[in-house]
């Protein structure tokens, strides 16, 4: 996929605002729309100038994956605690899963961009 296509795919991140339909309809499934904010990661990926991945690029990929792995442990632990404390509220769990998904993908893209720009 070309770099210009990545920029246009990044605009799909605005579909995340569909999640606000929940406040109008009251359906917990509408909260899944917030996961679409993960498409904003394509704005960061499109800014990378990697024509041929070299050894340094693969090291940065590993560092970014390690960062997101640690972030995932923290976020999933928080999500678990919240789901235990508020077991009767399905909306919190659906919203939490969507936010964790989007934040992990965005975290990976931003961290990789930061490492590549050093």
* Residue 65 belongs to domain spanning: 3-117
DSSP state of 77: H
Q: What is the DSSP string of 48-72?
A: ---SS--HHHHHHHHHHHHHHHHHH
Which residue did the predictor score with more confidence, 86 or 118? 86
Task: Tell me the C-alpha to C-alpha distance, in Å, between residue 68 and each of 2, 19, 21, 29, 71.
Answer: 25, 24, 29, 26, 5
Q: What is the pLDDT of residue 117?
A: 87
Poorest-pLDDT segment among 46-60, 69-83, 86-100: 46-60
Question: Tokens at residue 117, please?
Answer: 């720009």
Coil vs helix vs strand at 88:
coil
Q: How many domains does the chain have?
A: 1
């Amino acid at each position: 996929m070309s770099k210009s296509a990545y920029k246009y795919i990044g605009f799909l991140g605005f579909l995340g605002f569909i999640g606000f339909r929940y406040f109008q309809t009251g359906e917990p499934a509408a909260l899944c729309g917030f996961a679409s904010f993960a498409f904003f990661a394509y704005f960061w990926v499109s800014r990378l100038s990697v024509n041929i991945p070299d050894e340094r690029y693969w090291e940065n990929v590993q560092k970014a994956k390690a960062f997101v792995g640690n972030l995932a442990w923290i976020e999933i632990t928080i999500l678990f605690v919240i789901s235990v404390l508020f077991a009767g509220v399905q909306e919190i769990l659906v919203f939490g899963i969507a936010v964790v998904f989007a934040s992990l993908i965005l975290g990976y893209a931003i961290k990789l961009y930061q490492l590549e720009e050093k």
